[in-house]
């Protein structure tokens, strides 16, 4: 499965994307973090409260690192930054089809929590959730 899709109607797609981004900018329970190297954005993370595994807390909604910056520690640092800035119950839902994301999140969450997390299956979502609470950890 490719992680890239062809957009035929770019103008419509941009209008829709900007509308959704606007929701993140005005909602109190949604967060956008960008990752920059020098002056270039190389990744981003979006956090919300759309749950598949938890009943409360925060969920990683979207997470992206540019291909040429993968496997260099940027993704791990961005994920850990999210968790430190927003302590509490967390879930990261990953589709079974996204093998590289399953490996990444298993490693990041396991390391960050010292193995104190639950990996849960959700058949209706067709994927796993990495669920943990970091409310007792110190923040930056």
pLDDT in tens, 43-85: 889 999 999 999 999 999 999 999 999 999 999 999 999 999 9
- Please give the tally of structural domains in the chain: 1
Reduced to 3 states, what is the DSSP secondary structure of residue 61? Answer: strand
In the numeric block, which tokens belong to residue 115? 């193995």
Let me know if residue 42 belongs to a domain: yes
In the numeric block, which tokens belong to residue 67? 């291909």
pLDDT value at position 12? Answer: 75
Give percent above pLDDT 70 in the chain: 81
Provide the domain limits for residue 84: 29-133
CA distance 110 to 132: 10
Let me know if residue 60 belongs to a domain: yes
Query: Where residue 110 sits, what CATH number does that domain have?
Result: 3.40.630.30
Length of the chain: 140
Let me know if residue 140 belongs to a domain: no
Read off the pLDDT band of 3 (50, 70, 90).
very low
Let me know if residue 74 belongs to a domain: yes
pLDDT by residue (tens digit) across 11-35? 776 666 666 666 666 677 888 888 8
Let me know if residue 2 belongs to a domain: no
E-only strand ranges, 58-117: 58-65, 89-95
């Amino acid at each position: 499965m490719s992680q890239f899709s062809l957009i035929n109607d770019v103008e419509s797609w941009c209008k829709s994307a900007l509308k959704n981004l606007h929701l993140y900018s005005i909602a109190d329970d949604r967060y956008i973090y960008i990752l920059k190297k020098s002056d270039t954005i190389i990744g981003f993370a979006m956090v919300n409260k759309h749950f598949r595994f938890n009943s409360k807390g925060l969920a990683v909604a979207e997470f992206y690192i540019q291909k040429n910056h993968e496997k260099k520690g940027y993704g791990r640092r961005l994920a850990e930054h999210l968790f430190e800035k927003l302590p509490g119950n967390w879930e990261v839902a990953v589709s079974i089809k996204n093998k590289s994301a399953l490996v990444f999140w298993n490693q990041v969450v396991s390391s960050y929590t010292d193995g104190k997390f639950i990996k849960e299956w959700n058949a209706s979502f067709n994927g796993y959730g990495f669920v943990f609470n970091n409310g007792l950890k110190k923040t930056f």
